[in-house]
Amino acid sequence: MDGSTNLLPKHQRILADLGENLKLARLRRKLSAQQVAERAGVSRSTLSLMENGSAGSSLGKLLQVLVVLGLEADVARVAADDVLGRKLEDARLTESRRRAPKKKARK
């Protein structure tokens, strides 16, 4: 997937916000983009694309940057509180299911 991926505007905004949060986290730690890129094993240009909200970065590279910034635990919280998914699951669990007829007892 490259940076020209067609995303809806609201999804582009989500990526832009994520990129901005990465950049702010890096700046709060007083790390240069070059330092984070080297420690994460990604190119400086890849980090720049991430910080600018490009859709072309892989999840693996994103995780590497999050590890350098000490934010990898945040990944585990993604979709942890999946309200819609839980409602769908609960709805399936409460559907009436037809049981097989009972076997006649042998005498």
| Domain extent for 14 | 9-94
* Res 107: pLDDT: 66
Is 80 part of a structural domain of the chain?
Answer: yes
Task: Calculate Rg over the CA atoms of the chain.
Answer: 23
Number of domains in the chain: 1
Query: Tokens representing 13?
Result: 């905004």
Tens digits of per-residue pLDDT, 65-102?
A: 999 999 999 888 887 888 888 888 888 777 766 677 77
Position 102 in a domain: no
Sequence letter at residue 84: L
Read off the CATH number of the domain in which 13 is found.
1.10.260.40
pTM metric for this prediction: 0.72
Indicate whether 105 belongs to any domain.
Answer: no
Is 47 part of any domain? Answer: yes
Query: For 20-53, what is each residue's pLDDT tens digit?
Result: 999 999 999 999 999 999 999 999 999 999 999 9
